[in-house]
Amino acid sequence: MKSSSSSLESCEQHWCEFCNAVLASDNSSKLCSSCLKGNLGIEPEGPGDDELTASTDGSRPEVTPADVVELVRYLRKHLSTLGFIGMEFVFFHQFFNKELQDQLKHLRRRLYGHEHPPMPMGLQEAERTFGMSPTGPTLDEFRELAKPAIKKATLEYLEGRLEGTGVSLEVAEVREAIKRLAGWLSARAETDEALHRDLERISINWLFREIRRKGVEQLAGEVRSSGSPSISANWTSLDILAKPIPVDVRSEKTAILLQVAHDLHELGSTLPASDESLSMAVVCGTPPVPPMSVLSVVTQPNAPQEIHIKVYSAKLRRLQQGYQIASEIFFPQYGSLSESPPIDVAWSDTFPPYLEMRITPRNGVVPRPSQVGQAFKQARRGKRFYDSRTKVNDYHLELEAWAKATLRLAFKMRNRDILEKWASLSEEDGARLSIKNDEELEKYLDELHPRPTISQGVVLSLQVKRIWHRIQEIGSLMSS
């Protein structure tokens, strides 16, 4: 093995992480077969160590070609929501952003004692395990969550209004009357659309308060016990991060658990990605997924409240609905065109690109949802929000290009192997491949992927080149 050292310096070579570690330590471990052949032109004598199945400590690496396939299956179901921007986001950060992966490894070492995901699984399984989507709940999901709480939320709302008038809730007759009224209103809302909207708004508002209250109570106790007063995290993220830690030792890990959650929260503001998505990336090895939008109400001392909306997808179809729910919770009054405050729009040409809308309520009045939607449509025209005119069907073509390029660039797979793996993703092709013997399989692949220069191999090479340039462009946007 050492006799090849002169050839190592004769030309540019690319070694996998496993082989880099072997060369650096100068021990007697075998180099992997792909690196031997690709860098030195040596055909391995035996089935040497493979960079796709082993790493320096003998365990599986965090990502493999199988992860690309699993991600493709996940994205196929979410392309209409994520679009080009979200798809590029997950591919880049999972397979080409080494700095981010190193940060996640560092956090795992601090929390779990090793750099590999303690509960490795794909996005779909992670969603089922933790009961959430990394993009956050949709408006419909919030409504479903709020449904069971409508009666209780209505009851608390009525109690609060009566307490404000000085009525004592200690009187049994008063409490019983309020319960009957809450029940009557809930039943009436099933046929009264306007009343249903009002109670739904009250219920969602109550749900937000409950989530915030539970999170604050849990975090407050843990922060006090850890002696760390300045922690930014949420209880859902903490719960995900704590899953792999045995219950009997969690108390010992509280301080580091809070700090890791805080670091992920800070990291999420720069990517961007939710705390939950990044926590799943730490625990399961899944890629971080960008939010479609972020809507927040900003309160500063000696300054009026502001509504901030960051939109990361030009295909966001529910911006008006999300804004309507949020504005009804915090600012229940809409103004006419003359009364409404202006909508300030600013673009950020980063990765991912986003549109930021700022609204400063005027005397408690905010623009109508239709005005916000119109401002969004006008602002995205002519900008570098390049998925704004793309048809949803075209996303699948871009997904195919990114998947194939990732297999080539991240895992050094040959063109023919890439095309074969992509063909196996098709249910029809997968079924045909599974029933053929070796001779029939070879003939079938020759027919499917002809070898002349006009074959799919040429198209694949062009796709890889285009995606490689895009990866470099994304890297420069992130560092600027």
Q: Are residues 158 and 257 in the same domain?
A: yes
Whether 306 and 279 share a structural domain: no
281 within some domain: yes
Residue 328 falls inside a structural domain: yes
Mean pLDDT in the chain? 75
pLDDT of residue 14: 61
Mean pLDDT of 19-46: 51
Q: What is the pLDDT of residue 318?
A: 72
The pLDDT value given to residue 472: 93
Do 113 and 246 fall within a single domain? yes
User: Of 289, 322, 346, which residue is a domain's last?
Assistant: 289
pLDDT at residue 59 is higher than 50:
no
Distance CA 239, CA 282 (A): 12
- Residues facing 359 on adjacent strands: 307, 343
The reply to whether 397 falls in a domain is no
Range of the domain at 50: 1-61
Same domain, 328 and 368: yes
pLDDT given at position 99: 94
Q: Mean pLDDT across the stretch 97-109?
A: 94
pLDDT in tens, 401-422: 999 999 999 998 988 888 888 8
Give the residue among 398, 400, 418, 419 at the shortest CA–CA distance from 408.
418
- Between 31-40, 80-89, 279-288, 364-373, the lowest mean confidence (pLDDT) is in 31-40
Do 330 and 275 sit in the same domain of this protein?
Answer: no
Identify the helix (H) or strand (E) that includes residue 17: helix 17-25
Look up residue 249 and give its DSSP letter: G
Which residue, 10, 75, 71, is CA-closest to 40? 10
Say whether both 255 and 109 belong to one domain: yes
Is residue 225 domain-resident?
A: yes
Q: Are residues 209 and 347 in the same domain?
A: no
Q: Is 133 left (phi over 0), alpha (psi -120 to 50) or beta?
A: beta
- Of 364, 380, 396, which residue sits at a domain end? 380
Same domain assignment for residues 196 and 338: no
Q: Tell me, yes or no, whether 388 lies in a domain.
A: no
Residues of the chain with pLDDT > 70, as a percent, come to 67
Same domain as 336, residue 364 = yes
Residue of 139, 450, 472 lying closest to 295 (CA atoms)? 139
Average pLDDT over residues 388-403: 79
Q: What confidence score (pLDDT) does residue 68 get?
A: 92
| Residue carrying structure tokens 């990866």 | 471
Per-residue pLDDT, 470:
92
pLDDT of residue 26: 41
Give yes or no: residues 136 and 237 share one domain: yes
Average pLDDT over residues 364-376: 89
SS3 state of residue 462: helix
Residue 144 one-letter amino acid: E
- Read off the tokens for 430: 């997968």
Domain boundary among the residues 44, 61, 78 is at 61
Residue 94 has pLDDT above 70, yes or no: yes
* Amino acid found at 214: K
Residue 429 lies in a domain: no
Instruction: Looking at mean pLDDT, say which of 58-62, 99-103, 458-462 comes out highest.
Output: 99-103
Is the pLDDT at 48 greater than 50, yes or no?
no
366 falls within a domain? yes
The count of structural domains within the chain is 3
Same domain, 370 and 339: yes
Is residue 107 located within the same domain as residue 42?
no
What is the rounded distance in angstroms from the CA atom of residue 201 to the CA atom of residue 213?
18
Asked whether residue 442 is assigned to any structural domain, the reply reads no
Q: What is the pLDDT of residues 182-204, one digit of tens each?
A: 788 878 877 887 777 777 777 76
Q: 3-state DSSP call for residue 437?
A: coil
* Integer-rounded Cα radius of gyration of the chain: 27
Predicted confidence band of residue 480 (pLDDT cuts 50, 70, 90): low
**Comparison of pLDDT for 396 and 432, the residue scoring more:** 396
Whether the pLDDT of residue 84 is over 90: the answer is: no
Coarse DSSP helix, strand, coil percentages of the chain, rounded to the nearest 5 percent: 60, 5, 30
CA distance 184 to 158: 12
pTM, to two decimals: 0.67
Most confidently modeled range among 25-39, 295-309, 457-471: 457-471
Residue entry with tokens 């391995």:
44
Spatial CB neighbours of 245, under 8 Å, sequence gap ≥ 6: 111, 112, 253, 257
pLDDT at 42: 52
* Among 30-44, 92-106, 190-204, 244-258, the least confident range: 30-44
249 falls in which pLDDT band (50, 70, 90)? Answer: confident
- Can you say whether the dihedral through the CA atoms of 208, 213, 215, 216 is positive or negative? positive
**Mean pLDDT computed over 104-108:** 95
| 247 against 343, higher pLDDT | 343
